[in-house]
């Protein structure tokens, strides 16, 4: 009987851990839905490829948000993130953006060539720095 009680406690503990993980998943904010945007973010640029938000609290590095809704495979999400990071690094825009901005990328961004993506990001950076 003592053995059965020990197993039941572990099952209950395991159940609570999985429930906590599910709750964390649903508490994450979606940057693609304007109604669910965090109060600490302010939209400073938007086009059909991506949006740029300014954070009220500065952090380390550039943040890039890509939703599973638009890019189902992690390979595609990571490729888009690498492309944006490389464009920012090659153009020396890391100092301009710092840790104050968040990129939220949409599906049409994947269809852009590298040169087109670079041009779109350059336009966004110019508009952001004017403000």
Domains of the chain (ranges; CATH) run 30-130 (3.30.230.10)
**How far is the C-alpha of 85 from the C-alpha of 89, rounded, in Å?**
6
The percent helix, strand, coil of the chain (3-state, each to 5) is 55, 15, 30
pLDDT tens digits for 41-59?
Answer: 888 888 999 998 888 777 7
pLDDT tens digits for 7-20?
Answer: 555 555 545 544 44
3-class DSSP assignment, residue 3? helix
Give the residue from 109, 116, 45, 44 showing the smallest Cα distance to 81.
109
**Do you know the residue count of the chain?**
131
Give the residue from 52, 59, 128 showing the smallest Cα distance to 99.
59
The pTM assigned to this predicted structure is: 0.65
């Amino acid at each position: 009987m003592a053995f059965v009680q020990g197993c039941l406690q572990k099952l209950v503990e395991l159940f609570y851990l999985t429930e906590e993980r599910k709750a964390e998943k649903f508490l994450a904010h979606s940057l693609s839905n304007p109604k669910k945007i965090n109060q600490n973010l302010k939209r400073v640029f938007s086009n059909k490829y991506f949006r740029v938000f300014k954070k009220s609290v500065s952090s380390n590095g550039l943040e890039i948000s890509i939703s599973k809704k638009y890019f189902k495979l992690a390979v595609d999400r990571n490729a888009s993130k690498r492309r944006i990071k490389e464009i920012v690094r090659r153009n020396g825009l890391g100092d301009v953006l710092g840790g104050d901005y968040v990129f939220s990328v949409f599906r049409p961004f994947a269809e852009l060539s590298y040169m087109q993506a670079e041009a779109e990001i350059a336009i966004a950076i110019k508009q952001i720095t004017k403000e």
